Amino acid sequence: MFAVFTRLADLIAWNLLGLTPGSRLGEAVHFFIEDVTKIFFLLTVIVFLMGFLRAMIAPEKVRELVAGRSRFVSYPLAVMLGAVTPFCSCSSVPLFIGFLEAGIPLGVTMAFLIASPMINEVAVVLLGAIMGWKVAALYVIAGLTVGILGGLLIEALKLEKWVEDYVWQIRMGKVAAPKVDTSLTARLAFARAEVKEIVGRIWTFVLLGVAVGALLHGFVPASFFAQYAAGNPFAVPLAAVIGIPLYSNASGVIPIVESLIGKGLPIGTVLTLMMSVAAISLPEMIILRKVLKPQLIATFTAVLFVSFIIVGYLFNGLFT
Amino acid sequence: MKDIIVYGSDCTNCHNTKELIRQVAEALGVAADIREVTDTVEIMRAGVMSTPGVAVNGEVVHAGGVPTREAIEGWLKG
């Protein structure tokens, strides 16, 4: 289906630049050209289509749907809706307060906030198109599991005391439900605006991800990973540790995932890295510091770290 | 005179929203007083959960994301 991008990379890397197939530099450059063209093409198409279909749901609606439900319903619902609810990271604070104010438990609210950056419809479709639907489905299941697990742990630890006190005092005004214009012209205008906004925001992450993927692909031999990562019992925690300080949009990690799976790394280890890179970001933590005390931020990071590792081992055990 | 408030916690999309409204108001020749509210408690009190949110003459007309030019024209003309 995407042979055209391989051919384009063949043409540029071998014919135009005169690189040798099989050489380190040649393979890295080939990977880079193929993935940059393929991913930006797919990204634009996917974001446009999702915008046109408005295949997304407003956080206000999520709040309404999740509030007052039993935990058996609210946890799965929160993580699933978190996956399809786009929101600007600057919205995290009002969203967090809005959820608590509606009586949604802290654990469920955190489950939503964990799932949201990790799984989004664009990254999932992109992952499916590039790595196949089995990997995409596994990633979704892994992300949902981490969201629920993380939320439940936070609930079990009773961390409400580490939410800033003023948060509990806030009473919200009547929530304004945004009106959505569903005419064809409005849909097209919205889809175009989404492409501009989303691609404009994440292109640096994607470019960087492709560059790292290309370097791994060309310069790190598969035997290196076979020796240090494939059979190493500590590879999963190591992947989680590496991912914590790194931050990228989920779509930006996909070329790295592609490269690592190509080198024979087990799926659980690779998914752990992807989740860890996408879910934990310093800017997000700084924003959430407005509503969470430092103890809760530290615990939140630790809880996620543990959840990534559990899910990584679980997937390695189940699927390799 | 339109009284416009952009609710948002000092983020890029919020600044873009304010700037776009200013541009559209200028293009249409509509007098508008555009303010930005960044205080979380005030944002919540207005009932805005997804920022940036926009209120025109005291009524919230938009929440979540930068509004389209067409939508802004609608508020300013209405």
pLDDT digits (tens, 9 = 90+) for A175-216: 876 667 778 888 888 889 889 988 998 999 999 999 999 999
Q: For position A179, what pLDDT does the model report?
A: 66
Domain with A293 in it: 3-319
* Three-class secondary structure of residue B3 per DSSP: strand
Q: For position A199, what pLDDT does the model report?
A: 93
Residue located via tokens 């990584």 = A312
How far apart, in whole angstroms, are the C-alpha atoms of residue A257 and residue A265? 9
**Residue A258: pLDDT band by 50, 70, 90 thresholds?**
very high
Residue B75: its chain A contacts at CB < 8 A?
none
Q: Buried (b) or exposed (e) across A7-37, using 16+ Cβ within 10 A? A: eebbebbeeeeebeeeeeebbbbbbbbbbbb
* Fold of domain B2-77: Glutaredoxin (3.40.30)
Q: What is the pLDDT of residues B13-67, one digit of tens each?
A: 889 999 999 999 999 999 999 999 999 889 999 999 888 899 999 889 988 888 8
Residue A179: its chain B contacts at CB < 8 A?
61
Q: Among the options B5, B6, B14, B21, which is catalytic?
A: B14
B6 touches chain A (CB under 8 A): no
Q: Once rounded to an integer, what is the mean pLDDT over residues A77-88? A: 86
B64: left (phi over 0), alpha (psi -120 to 50) or beta: left
Closest CB to B9: pick one of A90, A101, A171: A90
Q: What is the pLDDT of residues A88-107, one digit of tens each?
A: 777 888 999 999 999 999 99
> What share of chain A has pLDDT > 90, as a percent?
68
Chain B residue with CA closest to A172: the answer is B45
All structural domains of chain B with their residue ranges: 2-77
* Three-class secondary structure of residue A226 per DSSP: helix
**Total number of domains in chain A:** 1
Q: For position B66, what pLDDT does the model report?
A: 84
